Amino acid sequence: MIGDSASTVGAGREGYLDVVRRLAAAQKPAARSAPAYSRFVNRRIGRYLAAWAYRAGLSPNAVTGISAVFTFAAIVLLIVLPPSWGQGIGIAALLLVGYAFDSADGQVSRLQGTSSPSGEWLDHMVDATKVSTMPLALAVGFYRFDVVPIGWLLVPIAFAVVSAVLFFGMILTEQLRRRTAGAVPLAAEQPGRPSWLRALAVLPMDYGVLCISFVLLGAVQVFVVVYTLIAIATTAFLLLAATKWFRELRAWTPTPSKATPQKGDLR
C-alpha cells in the first residue's frame, strides 16, 4: 500500500512530456506485419493516453475499462440509431478512441511494472467480445432500419465468425509458440524496422481502417461496398495466416519427454 502511494506521488511529480519520452524509449517494438494505422498512428496516440493515465494514477485495468466503454458505446449506437452521417462519424470517433485506450493499457502496465496474467486476460476478453459483437450489431441495426437487401446481412454475420476465429488463432498460436522450446517466432510477429510496403499491404485488415470505415454510414451503399471488401480481405488473410501457422507448428517436433501427454492435454 505504501509502495503504491509512493508510485502515485512519483507519477504525479514526473512531467507529462517526461513520461511520454520514457514510454517511447521503453515501448516494445511492433511486429513487422503490423498495419499502418495501428503501428504508426494508434500506438502513438496510445502513448499519449498512457502518459496521461499514468500521471492520473489509473491502473491498466481501469484503462482497459475506459477502452471498453468507448467501444461498446459505439456498438450500441449501431443498433439503436438509423444510419446517417452523424451516427457514422460518432461511431468512428468512439471506436478510434476505444482503440487508442486499448493500446494504452499495456503501456501503462509497463510504466508501472504491474503486468499480470489477470490484466492480459481482461484485455483479451474485451477484444474477443468486441470483434464478435461489432459485426453482429451492424447486422441487427441494418435489419431494424431495413436499409440494405436482406441477403447482405450474411456479410457481417460471416465477418463475425472470421473475426472470432482470427483472434482465437492469433492468441492460440502465440501460446503454442511459447510452449515450443527453442522454436523461432513467426517472421510476421518478429519485431523489426518499420516497412511501409508491408504496413500498407495489410492495411485492409487494420482494425483502425475498419473503425474509420463507419464514417461512410451516411452513404450506406458506399459503406456496404467498403465493408464487404474489408471482410473479404480479412477472410483471405485468415486463410493464409492459418496455413502458415499450422505449417510452422507442424514442423516443430517435440522430444519424447516433451511429447508425454498430460491429463487433460489436447492433441
In the prediction, which pLDDT does 5 show?
Answer: 42
In the predicted model, residues of the chain with pLDDT beneath 50 are 1-9, 183-189, 260, 267
- Distance in angstroms (rounded) separating the CA atoms of residues 165 and 183: 24
In the prediction, which pLDDT does 254 show?
Answer: 60
pTM (2 d.p.): 0.83
258, three cell numbers: 516433451
- Distance in angstroms (rounded) separating the CA atoms of residues 258 and 114: 32
83, three cell numbers: 444510419
Is 33 in a helix, a strand, or coil? coil
In the prediction, which pLDDT does 1 show?
Answer: 37
C-beta neighbour count of 115 within 10 angstroms: 11
E strand or H helix at 48, and its extent?
A: helix 43-55
Q: Fill in the DSSP letter of residue 204.
A: G
In the prediction, which pLDDT does 36 show?
Answer: 75
Is 60 in a helix, a strand, or coil? helix
* Residue located via cell numbers 502458415: 244
Q: What is the DSSP string of 105-159?
A: HHHHHHHHT---HHHHHHHHHHHHHHHHHHHHHHHHHHHHHT-S-GGGGHHHHHH
In the prediction, which pLDDT does 177 show?
Answer: 83
Would you identify the CATH topology of the domain 2-183+203-250?
Four Helix Bundle (Hemerythrin (Met), subunit A) (1.20.120)
In the prediction, which pLDDT does 264 show?
Answer: 52
Per-domain boundaries in the chain:
2-183+203-250
Say if CB 199 and CB 39 are below 8 A apart.
yes
Positive or negative, the Cα torsion across 178, 183, 187, 191?
positive
CA angle 22, 24, 30 (to 5 degrees): 145
Nearest to 135 by CA among 150, 156, 152, 158: 156
In the prediction, which pLDDT does 2 show?
Answer: 37
